[in-house]
Structure 1
């Protein structure tokens, strides 16, 4: 009787280990499938982004025009304010132009990403 209990206990331990292994394998497969789906989704989004960069749609063109117009208006307003104040220095205009160009470049870079 004692040997039957020992063999039964061994069999139950073995089954428990197999069950744990099965659970682990199922979770592993679920994670693998989820990662594959996410990789496919990321690839699709990457392709859409490349296409949008190569062929900007009407909405992108309108947005760029609007933002470009806003930039021009802002530059002109800033220049008008300085002329009214009469405190513009000769080298200041060039440094402001360079600064505005840097800001414009940064905004364009942000739009691409």
Structure 2
């Protein structure tokens, strides 16, 4: 099909709102994913929308399946207020910032929670 850009939409190209290194979380409007390569703010770069990733998350996660949120600056935490849903935890961790396996939600229709 001549007008098709992505067959399955598992990774897409977007304009990054902030600098990101490869493997870091990215939110662009209602799209949440993980940067494929280092990309500067304002540049177009590719993000993965599926899969699971070991990402740095701040805050305790008591059980699998809990939501993980992203701040306007691109940091992940467990605080819903004024943040956006980024994905789902696939493990548990203590309150300190540290690695957690997370599945990004990809596309979503959302606004900041409790903003």
TM class by shorter chain equals under 0.3
TM normalised by structure 1 equals 0.21
Which structure carries more strand by proportion?
A: 2
TM normalised by structure 2 equals 0.21
Please say which structure displays the higher CA radius of gyration: 1
